[in-house]
Amino acid sequence: MKIIIIGATTGIGRSLAELYISQGHEVTITGRRTELLEALKNSFPNQTIHTSTMDVADITKTRQTIQLLADTYGGFDLIIINAGVGFPKASFEEEIKTIDINARGFVGIAQWAYEYFKTKGGGQLVGVSSLAAVRSSPYAPEYHATKAFVSSYMEGLRLRSKKYKHEITVTDIRPGFVDTPMTKQNKGMFWVATPEKAAKQIAHAIAAKKNVAYITKRYVFLAILMKLLPEWLLAKIF
Ligand SMILES: NC(=O)c1ccc[n+]([C@@H]2O[C@H](COP(=O)([O-])OP(=O)(O)OC[C@H]3O[C@@H](n4cnc5c(N)ncnc54)[C@H](OP(=O)(O)O)[C@@H]3O)[C@@H](O)[C@H]2O)c1
């Protein structure tokens, strides 16, 4: 399979790239930090791996780059948009950056991917959203809002694919807590998964062509509970 992972330098994206590379797939890895992309590529000297440095916040350039990558490497069967940021106690500038990367950057690629697969006659698009998509929190409303946007956008693409028979699978991955650079400074985390365990479960959900998958699986129970909670009760928990 030909796979591109947007945001594969660290954490979940990197573990997912390592998993797919070790399974023999042809993987294109991307992110802002070229040296980390090259280090990952060099750790698998016998595999076909392509690297591309990109900042998803630069939407126009990113869309042009992905098109070029698809033309150069014979297309993609699976496109995984994993790039995302979250800032503890975000300033206004950091809130806007979160929107630029997690929401605007996501649409820049997801819209391209959908049109690409439509022309190709099918494919699978995967977005890494979050359990945070389900409800908001007092700590990072901007982060929750971007993930709710991402999950809603993917639901819309799924409905579009069904309605117009585009044969495009859209999988919404919603991790709970995963031990990565993004969560390093977090306190009070529970049910924390290693990125390797998360990657295994994500790859399984992708292969099963799930609509929505909670990572790890037990978070589905928390998601159901959170959806049901009235806001006054949610306020007491936080
Ligand atoms: N860890 C968790 O508990 C958790 C829970 C729920 C959801 N998630 C989601 O999972 C995804 C991966 O997060 P992670 O925990 O693995 O964190 P991470 O280790 O910080 O990884 C984030 C990845 O996104 C890339 N990225 C960030 N901004 C980018 C940009 N502007 N352009 C291109 N790439 C960019 C990073 O690469 P560069 O910095 O090199 O660009 C890196 O590869 C995120 O979408 C996050 O919201 C994580």
CB 142 within 8 A of CB 90: yes
What is the reported pLDDT for 3?
98
Ligand 1 center to 43 CA (angstroms): 21
How many angstroms separate the CA atoms of 122 and 172, rounded?
A: 17
What is the reported pLDDT for 188?
86
Ligand 1 center to 125 CA (angstroms): 17
| Helix spans in 57-189 (H) | 59-73, 92-98, 105-120, 141-164
Type and span of the H or E element at 31: strand 26-31
Q: Provide the β-strand partners of residue 53.
A: 31
153 is written with which tokens? 């956008």
Ligand 1 atom nearest to CA at 173: 7
In order along its 238 residues, the chain shows pLDDT tens digits of 999 999 999 999 999 999 999 999 999 999 999 999 999 999 999 999 999 999 999 999 999 999 999 999 999 999 999 999 999 999 999 999 999 999 999 999 999 999 999 999 999 999 999 999 999 999 999 999 999 999 999 999 999 999 999 999 999 999 999 999 999 988 889 999 999 999 999 999 999 999 999 999 999 999 999 999 999 999 999 8
Q: 2-237: which CATH topology? A: Rossmann fold (3.40.50)
What is the reported pLDDT for 198?
98
Ligand 1 atom nearest to CA at 195: 16
What is the reported pLDDT for 187?
85
Please report, for the chain, the start and end positions of each structural domain, with discontinuous segments joined by +: 2-237
* CA nearest to 118, candidates 152, 163, 153, 83: 163
Q: Provide the β-strand partners of residue 31.
A: 53
* 14-61 per-position pLDDT tens digit: 999 999 999 999 999 999 999 999 999 999 999 999 999 999 999 999
Nearest CA to ligand 1 atom 19: 11
Q: Provide the β-strand partners of residue 178.
A: 193
